[in-house]
Amino acid sequence: MLTIGAFAKACRLSPKALRLYDELELLRPARVDPETGYRYYAVEQLERARLVAWLRRLGMPLARIRQVCALDGPAAGREIRAYWARVEAETAHRRDLAAFLVDHLTGTSGKDTTMLELRYAALSDTGLVRPANQDTAYAGTRVLAVADGFGSAGAHASTAAVEALKILERETHETRDTRDTLSAGNVLNLLDDAVQGATRAVRDIATADKEVGTTLTAMLWTGSQLALVHIGDSRAYLLRDGELFQITHDHTLVQSMVDEGRLTVEEAAAHPQRTLLLKGLTGGDSVPSPDLRLQDALPGDRYLLCSDGLSRVLADPDIERTLASVPDPEEAARTLVAGANDAGGPDNVSCVVADVVEATEV
């Protein structure tokens, strides 16, 4: 048996922490002296104590550590992997926000005098199987959006969500500075307010059917950056220097299983529940938490927003090839939609293609 002091030294946990974990029934001593109250630990408890110490160094909450410690080795490993995937996603979001705040407060953003603008096209098609189109695609001077509705009034839900974002076309115009660039200090607040408006609009549509809802992937052009909002399994891609990057993360059951290491990417593509959403704008009582981020824009960048009727049918290399080889945004959108339909068109398919270019002198 080891005293609490010797045990603490061996497992790198303080005696104070050990007393707390005893109270929480996370790590109970092997024996407590009934007269003195001294705690004694068995050597066999060191492995569990060291696991607790390591998980605390990861920043894992005590309640989740208790869950991990109750699992066998493989299951505990999957739980740790899932926890860390979420930490990395949250850290990436905070990193983007921190970079934005540093640039904003130090005045280092927007110093490039090159004026940029978007050239864009939007296209939505019913596909070859579905009886009606529940997608909505929109591209304007400052707002790009794709929404994929579902349920009995899915078409109305997707339309309502996109219409709620169109207010940004006017508001961003009214708040621009002398360089025709939206003030960086307002962009996230404006986008968040618009998303809340979209949420309310969808709930108004879905009052009689809680299963009605829509995905929403949209971007707000500030003049030098694109602010992205995303919820659901529609996607946003960036083609930069000939290479395609997916810049959104699917909010689906199978994607969460891939993140946790329970499925491979190949298994996820054929999973029977691959379209099951974990998050979306719906008529339910829960308040959705969309992904928000800022994306720096460079001349020559090409962005694609699309519903899963495109991304589930065309492989990323096929999408990349089209975006890289068809220079006109409208023609690129038509080519992508035609490709999805040529592959069977099993779903509504919608896309927005937008190019970042140097502004034309007026």
Distance CA 111, CA 101 (A): 15
Within a 13 Å sphere around the CA of 61, how many CA atoms are in the beta-carbon half?
5
Q: What is the pTM of this model?
A: 0.70
pLDDT at 180 over 90: no
Lookup: tokens for 235: 């996607």
pLDDT at 178 over 60: no
46-58 and 62-69 helices cross at what angle (nearest 10)?
140
Residue ranges of the chain that CATH labels 1.10.1660.10: 2-70
Phi, psi of 180 (to 5 degrees): 60, 30
Summarised one tens digit per residue, pLDDT across range 114-159 is 789 999 999 999 999 999 999 999 999 999 999 999 998 999 999 9
How far CA 261 is from CA of 40, 211, 219, 337, in Å, comes to 38, 29, 30, 32
The three-state (H, E, C) secondary structure of the chain, written as one string: CEEHHHHHHHHCCCHHHHHHHHHCCCCCCCEECCCCCCEEECHHHHHHHHHHHHHHHHCCCHHHHHHHHCCCHHHHHHHHHHHHHHHHHHHHHHHHHHHHHHHHHHCCCCCCCCCEEEEEEEEEECCCCCCCCCEEEEECCCEEEEEEEECCCHHHHHHHHHHHHCHHHHHHHHCECCCCCECHHHHHHHHHHHHHHHHHHHHHHCCCCCCCEECEEEEEECCCEEEEEEECCCEEEEEECCEEEECCCCCEHHHHHHHCCCCCHHHHHCCCCCCCECCCEECCCCCCCCEEEEEECCCCCEEEEECHHHHCCCCHHHHHHHHHHCCCHHHHHHHHHHHHHHCCCCCCEEEEEEEEEECCCC
How far CA 328 is from CA of 81, 120, 321, 335, in Å, comes to 42, 9, 14, 10
Per-residue model confidence (pLDDT) at position 194: 87
- The lowest-confidence range among 11-25, 164-178, 328-342 is 164-178
Phi, psi of 264 (to 5 degrees): -85, 165
CATH 1.10.1660.10 correct for 2-70 = yes
Per-residue model confidence (pLDDT) at position 146: 98
**Burial of residue 102 (number of CB atoms within 10 Å: 0-12, 13-18, 19+):** exposed
Q: Mark 196-213 as b/e (b = at least 16 C-beta within 10 Å).
A: ebbbebbbebbeeeeebb
How far CA 42 is from CA of 157, 223, 251, 288, in Å, comes to 60, 64, 45, 47
Summarised one tens digit per residue, pLDDT across range 212-239 is 999 999 999 988 889 999 999 999 999 9
Summarised one tens digit per residue, pLDDT across range 311-361 is 999 999 999 999 999 999 999 999 999 999 999 999 999 999 999 999 875
Lookup: tokens for 65: 């550590």
The CATH superfamily holding the domain 114-358 is PPM-type phosphatase domain (3.60.40.10)
